[in-house]
Structure 1
Amino acid sequence: MERLHGSARLMVDHDDPDDISLLSFNALWESYYRHDSLLVFSTGRSPTSYKLLRNEKPLLTPDVAVMSVGTEIAYGEALVVDAGWEEYLNHKWDREIIVEETSKFPELTPQSEIDQRPHKVSFYVEEVKALAIIDVLAERLEKLGLDVNIIYSSGIALDVLPRGAGKGQALAYLMKKFALDGKLPANTLVCGDSGNDAELFSIPEVYGVMVCRLITSVMQRKNCCSGKNVSPRDIKDFQKCKVEIINPGHEVVKFYLFYERCCRAEVEMAGQHMQNLKSFFYSLGTFVHPSGIEQPIHQCIDAMESLNGDRQGKRFQVWVDQLSSAQIGSDTWLVKCKKWESYAEIALLRREALLSDNNPNVLKGTTTNG
């Protein structure tokens, strides 16, 4: 988050099981939002479950991960834990008492061990029985001096959390923390479809997006917005994919999308398409392979023609992550990112760096892999 010099445009995204949609979002985010916005994943998954998902899906690296239904907050790629949030949740919370009291309800089936967390006790229960159990359990725990928040979601999952926990409360905590640092987000957009997402929509001055499979409890929330933006991945003809403001990162995203389509035989390599791609990159730019071999960027583009169809009919995906850019000269930008390739369920990481020209039609300099 050191890249921010002022208020971020904070976005909270909901995990999406459709890889095509995820990849489209990835390209959109890295092209237009990564440079001045914060990406927050807010999930009911435990840290272990979340890490497993990252190995299965083409997820970007978020700036903040809110896990275990808002009971755990971690920052960056290393998932540095927010100890202040953990301390806050300890107020009037006794996990042993909660486990003992919930064991008196035979209708509650404990979730797997990896989903049980220090500030989260989780069960499965039929929807027709859930409401009555919630009322009785809440009353019992209150009499024992505990202050809890019981959340029911997806028609099956029941979570017992500290009163101050939950996805909405975690978001409110983050916004307060940013405000104290003088970086209150200029705009905050939340997305969700489940009962444990509902309170995200209740945070003041937050805009919401309801996804297509949302449940009734989310529909009842107000202050939802509609609108769309176009991901570079959704543009079939890159000659029509232009930006009004100089954005070298946008061109880097398009470059690797072109590479993916090339390998999958989804683009015509002859004539205008190849020349158009070259026009975006400075002819003296250099591509450095992980082996250390250097190659002129235009020669690298020419080499794509030999890769045309190399992954045709195969599950081959390419995406960039953690893209950043800095102007290091009057007409030169340094662009860095991580580039991922997924082929036959194996994900390979390449670290990329690119020097780019200020001209929106030319990228200039050196690309490195490592």
Structure 2
Amino acid sequence: MDRLNGSPHLMIVSDLDHTMVDHHDQENLSLLRFNALWEASYRHNSLLVFSTGRSPTLYKQLRKEKPMLTPDITIMSVGTEITYGESMVPDDGWEQFLNHKWDRNIVREETSKFPQLTLQSETEQRPHKVSFYIQKDKAQEVIKVLSERLEKRGLDVKIIYSGGMDLDVLPQGAGKGQALAYLLKKFTSEGKAPTNTLVCGDSGNDAELFSIPDVYGVMVSNAQEELLQWHAQNAKGNPNIIHATERCAAGIIQAIGHFKLGPSIPPRDVADFSECKQENANPGHEVVKFYLFYERWRRAEVDNSQQYMQNMKAFCYAAGILVHPSGVERSLHDCIDAMTKIYGDKQGKQFRVWVDRVSSAQIGSDAWMVKFDKWELSDEGRHCCLTTLLLNTKAREGGCVWVHLHQTWLAGSGPKDQTTWLF
């Protein structure tokens, strides 16, 4: 990973469905709380890894449905595929490693002899993964017999049963845990081993993650019986693995606090941002606070106070400019005046704002260049701007001043009515 110069302070490795993503949380609040915490306090010095049973196709579909951050690393298809960055560059070394004693054609031939197995959709069949559905009461017997038959054919495979219905046949060297072990070994060889690693899961295919030495682990409160049973049998006495009392992403936040891995109060949980300060403030923290206030103003979740607008202007350089994604230039102070007129225009409506991929570089003794994706979710859909911000860190005591803001639409992501897009 070239994004960080040294060792990550924290590496979070999280399952997605029912762990990072709560499909019962229609407002996605726990996920948005995690997003704000990560971008404000961790993105600049830590790594986010998503480890999912989903194929690339279903993973990309989930990203369109939920306000998920962009991870640094994505482990997909139950640990058989590792990719890096937003462009998802595959790890060729991992693919070569998985070819040992693996023949997909033989797996398909032998599994076709089991009428209890129902092949999953074509998108879920991957080079090193063959996936089925099976009824819970048939699973153990099929796993036993199938393992014996594949071994006789000269293969060395791993069969993972999870979610009470999913059965995956993988190379023996594959799996979420093995993929994580591979990454940790790779980072260590480069002198970039994470200072702390937190693994997060809810189902049977996450169990391997908790078996990796020297990691912290959290089973979210809604963890399935199969994972809780594994924990009872294999790791009950391990103080570094906890069963959270909070669901999904909220449980991950809880674990960060429990293990004292760093800040654990999401900015979304702070009512008064004047109290939301960090010992080592970073530009990401300033950006998150700004856009959370912007969201609350339009949702009428803060008072309609002229003092707030004066405070907002104090955050902006008097001659500061915003280049709107349409190309129109406006004074930052004029934009804040425009905010005054739309107080509460999203009250009672769907409206959320979050930032992703915040990165910053110091370009002078008191100047920072900050880049990030700014997202809005409303009744009109999801819209995103690629944003570049120039900050001055000495122009205002106790905080940063916004000097210049430039935005361009992410391809295909601009709203029909661009007049409601202010920042």
- If the length of structure 1 is used for normalisation, what is the TM-score? 0.96
1:77 aligns with 2:86: yes
Which of 361, 366, 387 is the aligned partner of 1:352?
A: 387
**Letter of the aligned partner of 1:12 in structure 2?**
V
1:38 aligns with 47
2:241 aligns with 224
Which of 286, 295, 302 is the aligned partner of 1:251?
A: 286
1:275 aligns with 310
1:2 aligns with 2:2: yes
The number of residues matched between the two structures is: 370
CA–CA distance in structure 2, aligned partners of residues 4 and 42 of structure 1: 20
Instruction: Tell me the secondary structure at the aligned position of residue 318 of structure 2.
Output: coil
Contact 1:328 1:334 in 2 (8 A): yes
Report Cα offsets for 1:108-146 as digits up to 9, x if no partner.
Answer: 111111111111111111222211111111111111110
Which of 65, 71, 76 is the aligned partner of 2:74?
A: 65
Instruction: Tell me the secondary structure at the aligned position of residue 304 of structure 1.
Output: helix
Quote the offset at 1:345 in angstroms.
Answer: 6.3
CA–CA distance in structure 1, aligned partners of residues 80 and 101 of structure 2: 14
User: 101-110 or 145-154: which moved more?
Assistant: 101-110
Gaps of 5+ in 1: none
CA–CA distance in structure 1, aligned partners of residues 141 and 31 of structure 2: 38
1:121 aligns with 130
Quote the offset at 1:100 in angstroms.
Answer: 1.2
**Letter of the aligned partner of 2:241 in structure 1?**
C
1:13 aligns with 14
CA–CA distance in structure 1, aligned partners of residues 47 and 78 of structure 2: 19
1:314 aligns with 349
1:52 aligns with 61
2:173 aligns with 164
CA–CA distance in structure 2, aligned partners of residues 301 and 198 of structure 1: 50
Report Cα offsets for 1:14-36 as digits up to 9, x if no partner.
Answer: 32133111111111111001001
Contact 1:332 1:364 in 2 (8 A): no
1:365 aligns with 403
**Letter of the aligned partner of 1:4 in structure 2?**
L
Report Cα offsets for 1:318-365 as digits up to 9, x if no partner.
Answer: 111100111111111111101111223622110111111224423242
Deviating above 6 A after TM superposition, structure 1's stretches of 4 or more consecutive aligned residues are none
Instruction: Tell me the secondary structure at the aligned position of residue 285 of structure 1.
Output: strand
RMSD of aligned Cα (Å): 1.6
Contact 1:246 1:358 in 2 (8 A): no
- If the length of structure 2 is used for normalisation, what is the TM-score? 0.84
Contact 2:82 2:91 in 1 (8 A): yes
1:130 aligns with 139
2:119 aligns with 110
User: 209-218 or 113-122: which moved more?
Assistant: 209-218
User: 139-148 or 127-136: which moved more?
Assistant: 127-136
1:198 aligns with 2:224: no
Quote the offset at 1:227 in angstroms.
Answer: 4.5
Quote the offset at 1:297 in angstroms.
Answer: 2.3
Gaps of 5+ in 2: 243-254, 258-263, 409-423
CA–CA distance in structure 2, aligned partners of residues 345 and 80 of structure 1: 32
Identity in percent: 61
